[in-house]
Amino acid sequence: MLIKDLKALFHKELDDIYGPDEVFTFFFMLTEHYCNISRLDVALNTNLSVTTEEKIQIFKALESLEQQQPIQYILGETEFFGMPFKVNPNTLIPRPETEELVQLVLDSYDNKEQGHNASVLDIGTGSGCIAISLAKNLAEATIFGLDVSAKAIKTATQNALLNKVNVDFIEASILEDTAWKNIFKDLKFDTIVSNPPYVRQLEKQAMTSNVLDNEPHLALFVSDDNPLIFYKAITKFAAQYLKTNGELFFEINEYLGKEMIALLIDNGFKNVQLKQDFFGKDRMISGVKQ
């Protein structure tokens, strides 16, 4: 089957769902992944064809896209901070906003005397994208990643191997403070970072179906009556397990910036800073332990 005919079929079946521009992107992601044919090759040679096996794989992907499954889950991988990451329905798909959080942490080390010889904990590590990106860029640091999901830990471990970094992954719930004393009794951290669940139930209606129907709700949603449940637990933990002048970093719900400022200040953090993402939304907050 010719690539140009396959491309026309994609637009016919998917344009009404995603729009032609996104379908165009999906198609070339799939042909590059399954056929090792670049977008430039397709543009230069309209008579390129795919094998029967490649056609079967692409048709399966087309069916999945018609069911509005995320392209990242279909491919089983995505890119984050310039690195490849395996993803599946047990982990969230890393977002560009979280890359900004990673960069914020890295920027904080530019002026620190200890340089990269730091101890860092990523809470709610999921695919491991934050922990692994930090490990890749803080070569001498000791990096830990914690998650309640054993399946997420398995994926994160695979991603650490894929990106050739060392991260100590720990399966535990940050909401169970009795576990802290056993797991972290001899540890103190220079940095704690987290992108925990923060989408309130009332915000579900604003989300697309490909997210709601596919990504793990455990990693996305919190109740309307206690939306800061994870932030409260992590801040309490950080107040105990950060070194003096250690820093706490969060990705946050854009609507709860004021509440997050109050939470950190009330727990004894200084130099609390609320930062916006590239969309101008309140998305990150940091504080320093006194």
In tens digits, the chain (290 residues) has pLDDT values of: 899 999 999 999 999 999 999 999 999 999 999 999 988 888 788 789 999 999 999 999 999 999 999 999 999 999 999 999 999 999 999 999 999 999 999 999 986 655 568 999 999 999 999 999 999 999 889 999 999 999 999 999 999 999 999 999 999 999 988 777 788 888 899 999 999 987 777 776 766 777 767 667 766 777 878 889 999 999 999 999 999 999 999 999 999 999 999 999 999 999 999 999 999 999 999 999 99
Amino acid 62: pLDDT? 97
CA distance 282 to 202: 18
pLDDT at 208: 73
| Dihedral angle of Cα 64, 68, 69, 71, to the nearest 10 degrees | 90
Q: Tokens 């590059």 belong to which residue?
A: 32
Distance CA 240, CA 204 (A): 34
Residue 13 neighbours by CB distance under 10 Å? 14
pLDDT number for residue 41: 87
By the 8 A CB rule, do 234 and 123 touch?
yes
Calpha distance 129→266 (Å, rounded): 30
Residue type, 93: I
Res 197: pLDDT: 82
Give the burial class of 254: count Cβ atoms within 10 A of its Cβ; 0-12 exposed, 13-18 middle, 19 or more buried.
middle
C-alpha span between 173 and 167 (Å, rounded): 18
Q: If you count them, how many residues does the chain have?
A: 290
Using DSSP's 3-state secondary structure scheme, residue 284 falls into strand
Q: Give the separation between CA 70 and CA 94, rounded to whole angstroms.
A: 12
SS (H, E, C) 223-243: CCCCCCHHHHHHHHHHHHHEE
- Residue 15, amino acid: D
240 vs 289: CA distance, rounded Å: 9
CA distance 182 to 175: 14
With vertex at residue 195, the alpha carbon angle to CA 273 and CA 105, rounded to the nearest 5 degrees, is: 50
Return the structure tokens found at 71: 């392209």
pTM equals: 0.91
Contacts 24+ apart (CB under 8 A), 139-142: 140/115, 140/116, 141/116, 141/117, 142/118, 142/168
- Residue 40: the pLDDT is 87
User: Is 25 in contact with 34 (CB distance < 8 Å)?
Assistant: no
Q: How far apart are CA 204 and CA 207, in angstroms?
A: 5
